Structure 1
């Protein structure tokens, strides 16, 4: 069946008759435009079948339309054989045989038409220029892409060539038309691109979308009637994916939105870097170099501090050395700090050392833990510490270490050591105030 939306993709309102209406639920994730933060909601409503519809059912790589039936939101439209099933979020059912008013979400339809017709144009031009077949495509929420059957990454020069040709044809205003053909007999169908063939449940005539002088492509989607309605096409970039290449693009209103986003980001970078767009790369590279140099100096300071702590313990008379030494550093997950301390510290002390990224002990954060010393104590306490700190790791003999995800219970770990060594005197090193 050819639906009304496929006969006239620009029809925004339509009166039709209810064929059936059944109670249903729908697990629904709103689009970004609905500001639902990607959360899934279970909606209650009805699966409604009408005699005809201007709301496109999902298919051909194109998402379904949204709109309303008698003012109630249509959240999904799916094709089943020759019918379109609308999920309508409504408190009440619709009477079979009653007349209803369908209203189309036009901005969504226009966006889908621009991206889908733009995909047909890009596909045809890649085939004409490079003999690359388009094996699939994805109409994303902000950026779409086609998958080209080639192992060679497409250069920026080749992308620019296709982009120029596409926009030249848009300025020419080439006609886009749809013809219905009998796939069993029509000669027109033999010349049409049909990479996936007809659906197994297809009935009746097949739709072929034609761009005048460019190509014919079998497709069930909604399309513009003239390439000028695409406004413009921008090929963003190409990326290699296994043995294929994805070309990412935006068409029409999306290109304008992308330009706005890019310009806003440029202004933000100009303010942050205190330099114009022509200087951004140079300023960022200089900033990266400064960060790299500062990090190197910081690592050297940490190693010096670790060595000093180890020497302080080494200088203590054996009788005055603590049974265990616990220390947490929150100035970065620098395992070299731990390794340096342990390499220079006396071996007759049990060490419980943790590091984390910018979060104080007693807070929920990720980090690294090392427990080293008496093998019996290490093997007993190691698993307990990992459980308390929500970490993963292992160890053998006198060494146990792992990645930890919650530093909030470091004090509980220290209390376990305190209890283990009672009534013997235990000392805990405290991070200097200057390091916080």
Structure 2
């Protein structure tokens, strides 16, 4: 049996049978609870006049941070609309009889919006909306020069949702239900999901027991978009929590422990899905516009998916359009960077990578030949040798270790010190190697001399005759002089012993 609810909300294009009640709504309090808020009864309602139930100073000075990166690598902003956290003024917790501002829940970030107070003609920013038990609590920012909200109880206020944000997040949430339903037909249940908050264009994801191949991704995307084009109807069944919440459906996760005496909501997609959900859902699939699945990182020709739990990233609705625009600009910039048409970009990048690999192979061969040559030349210095390098191409431990290894093949009872310091560079490299314990003795002397009064400047160690370290700070002539002094002392000691 279904019940009708008094039409206490302004009319929108949401169908009259979008909300289907399976309990007597007269049992609910006048103050609407989470699960039965105006934003959940009519997701297309943008504004609402209501009364304030309570208003008090918030226990926090800033709204909780929203999920989702606001910057790309390199620091460039993804969106000019990415807002900075404002901490001036005071933050107030405001509860109203009803609200069009959705509190965070079910994986969907909260709505933002404005609160207008007709009596004082104040328009204030709603920075977040939190669920506290059954209540929706608005976090409202009052600037320093505005009237505080300590006498707001009982007054009428106008709430307006940030519609751009709502559209974005609602479309993604409904698209996630659709995607999970299609994946479920492939015996791929959704283990979890996540959505970065608007205005980020970061892609949401569903976590699956295994990855998909490129072919499977294309197939799932095609099925989802076909259902969107059909504009399948979406509706919400609502049950009283104490009556058991109706048929469970595709997925059912634990209800928060602090949510007691409320309602259970099931989102239905015509002929496709039924699943418990507390978020705002589009009244039909056309609001999702489209869905795009991000291909996996495996080769496009592979028919064998990874068999470990994997995140499948996707985008939909207005965010998909912004994602497409950003991807198109990135494609153009990448094409310009290597002077090629966009259509030829992949082929050119593949060729560049092929040449890079060939160059790396050749460079490795040349380095190997060079380190052998340098090591053999070092052998002419006798039982105590020092190789000093200052070239970027050989400024790494692998090359220096190759040199010291070649030296010891020629002079088995010798000890060699190999250093590399770039002109103007801030980090020097040191390798000391021998077949016996002499390498440790030499390394300890070098470390002490190079550190001087700057303890901790030399970072490294070793064992079994090979010791390596990085020397922080400018090397310069002083570094060479320190090494030369230690080498000279060793040679003098060797001559004295002979």
TM class by smaller structure: 0.7 to 0.9
Q: Which residue of the other structure, out of 180, 198, 206, is the alignment partner of 2:255?
A: 198
Calculate the TM-score normalised by the size of structure 1: 0.79
1:318-357 counterparts in 2 under 5 A? 324-345=386-407, 351-354=417-420
Determine helix, strand or coil for the equivalent of 1:124: helix
In structure 2, relative to structure 1, the CA distance for the partners of 1:413 and 1:279 (3 Å cut) is same
Residue 234 in structure 1 maps to residue 303 in structure 2? no
* Segment drifting more, 265-274 vs 198-207: 265-274
Residue 393 in structure 1 maps to residue 460 in structure 2? yes
- Which one has a larger percent strand, Structure 1 or Structure 2? 1
Q: Which residue of the other structure, out of 73, 91, 95, is the alignment partner of 1:50?
A: 95
Q: Which residue of the other structure, out of 137, 143, 149, is the alignment partner of 1:94?
A: 149
Equivalent residue pairs, number: 413
Per the alignment, residue 37 of structure 2 pairs with 3
Residue 379 in structure 1 maps to residue 444 in structure 2? yes
Residue 105 in structure 1 maps to residue 153 in structure 2? no
Q: Which residue of the other structure, out of 75, 90, 96, is the alignment partner of 2:127?
A: 75
RMSD: 3.7
- Which one has a larger percent helix, Structure 1 or Structure 2? 1
Per the alignment, residue 22 of structure 2 pairs with none
Are the counterparts in 1 of residues 404 and 416 from structure 2 also a CA contact under 8 Å?
no
Per the alignment, residue 474 of structure 2 pairs with 408
Per the alignment, residue 145 of structure 1 pairs with 205
Unmatched tracts of structure 1, length 5 or more:
427-436
Determine helix, strand or coil for the equivalent of 2:192: strand
How far apart are residue 322 of structure 1 and its match? Answer: 8.6
* Segment drifting more, 227-236 vs 275-284: 275-284
Give the distance between the partners of 1:233 and 1:112, measured in 2 at CA: 13
Per the alignment, residue 369 of structure 1 pairs with 430
Determine helix, strand or coil for the equivalent of 2:181: helix
How far apart are residue 182 of structure 1 and its match? Answer: 2.1
Per the alignment, residue 433 of structure 1 pairs with none
Determine helix, strand or coil for the equivalent of 1:351: strand
Residue 20 in structure 1 maps to residue 55 in structure 2? yes
Per the alignment, residue 162 of structure 1 pairs with 220
In structure 2, relative to structure 1, the CA distance for the partners of 1:191 and 1:260 (3 Å cut) is same
In structure 2, relative to structure 1, the CA distance for the partners of 1:132 and 1:413 (3 Å cut) is same
How far apart are residue 210 of structure 1 and its match? Answer: 1.9
* Segment drifting more, 55-64 vs 243-252: 243-252
Calculate the TM-score normalised by the size of structure 2: 0.71
Per the alignment, residue 64 of structure 1 pairs with 110
Give the distance between the partners of 2:388 and 2:450, measured in 1 at CA: 13
How far apart are residue 169 of structure 1 and its match? Answer: 1.9
Higher relative contact order (CA closer than 8 Å, sequence separation 6+)? 2
Q: Deviations over 1:22-45 (max 9, x none)?
A: 143237546626669999886763
